[in-house]
Structure 1
Amino acid sequence: MKKDVSGDWFFEDFTPGQEIDLGQRTVSEEEIIDFARQFDPQPFHVDAEAASGSIYGGVIASGWHTCAMMMRMVVDGLPFASSSMGSPGLDGVRWLLPVRAGDTLSLRHVTKQVKASSSKPDRGVVWTSWVATNQHGETVCTIEGMAMFRRRPVESAD
């Protein structure tokens, strides 16, 4: 089921089975190399000549860069700035195919489970799966995790 992503979102706006398309992002070789020089300077991420002799046959994005791009797409695509309370962690990250310069990533956010907190009534936890595909429809990365969201404020009836 698709969900309209307009307006402020709260815990109550997430439902199991919900799928949200979060747009696309094209990655450049310059961006791949800049990220890798700072955070993951392995030769197949930063050196075209060395990368051409690697098992990848050319420069590829760091898996962490792929995750960072996915996170940016979530933040840009879901209007939850007023209700996000962060995340207690991830359950899994899988880098299934290399991301290369010129690839266009599409991201789908899938709500797996929701649970209101029994000890803190102002919040709930949402378990999600993020699935990034390239321009060929191939899955390149998946992230399984959870996030905490504020509950929708109750309007007073006076």
Structure 2
Amino acid sequence: MTRYFEDLEPGDVFETSGYTVKKNEIIEFAEQFDPQPFHVDEAAAEDSIFGGLIASGIHTMALASKLTVEETFDMIANLGGRGMDDLQFHQPVRPGDTLHVELEVLETTPSERHSERGYVTYEQRVLDDSDAVVLSLRMETIVRRRPEGQTE
């Protein structure tokens, strides 16, 4: 069942399944997009403040986006994003960590200019296998309102 703007309320929480981060993915992503030594070189990572190889925060954010889109936005009448704020990296993600996402509705605001849509603000939390938050951010999306005449 598709959830429209009217179906979303502050306090609603959506949770994804887990995704296990692999060492080769960390290195391949970082070589292309964030080639810092502690993301691409195990020996250098051992000598870093992290004491070992860690995923790029941007990689972690991309994994969170994938899980959110595939497992949450596919059941919400999501039309696109408006922006993100307050991105925080709480702790490093390491090879073998299994991540999942919690997406909590914080606020819903009807559009004043477009009666067919509204804006939904979420807090997105990425958690590891021990349910520790590794990344968090706030995002605002555009969500379709229920079509006229449609009750459910």
**TM-score of the aligned structures, taking structure 2 as reference length:** 0.93
* Counterpart-to-counterpart distance in 2, 1:145 and 1:121: 21
Unmatched tracts of structure 1, length 5 or more: 1-6
Match of 1:100 among 94, 105, 110: 94
Matched, 1:44 2:45: no
Gaps of 5+ in 2: none
1:40-94 superposed Cα distances (whole Å, 9 cap, x missing partner): 0000000111111101111100000000000011111114478322111111110
**Alpha-carbon deviation of 1:134?**
0.8
Contact 2:76 2:143 in 1 (8 A): no
1:2-151 mapped onto 2 (5 Å cutoff): 7-80=1-74, 83-151=77-145
After superposition, the CA RMSD in angstroms is 1.4
- The change in CA–CA distance for 1:84 and 1:111 in structure 2 (over 3 A counts) is same
Q: How many residues align?
A: 150
1:62 maps to amino acid: S
AA partner of residue 50 (structure 2): Y
Q: Partner amino acid for 1:48?
A: E
Give the TM-score taking structure 1 as reference length.
Answer: 0.90
Give the deviation of 1:13 after TM superposition: 2.2
Q: Once superposed, which parts of structure 1, at least 4 consecutive aligned residues long, lie more than 6 Å away?
A: none
Q: Do the aligned residues in 2 keep the contact of 1:19 with 1:108 (CA within 8 Å)?
A: yes
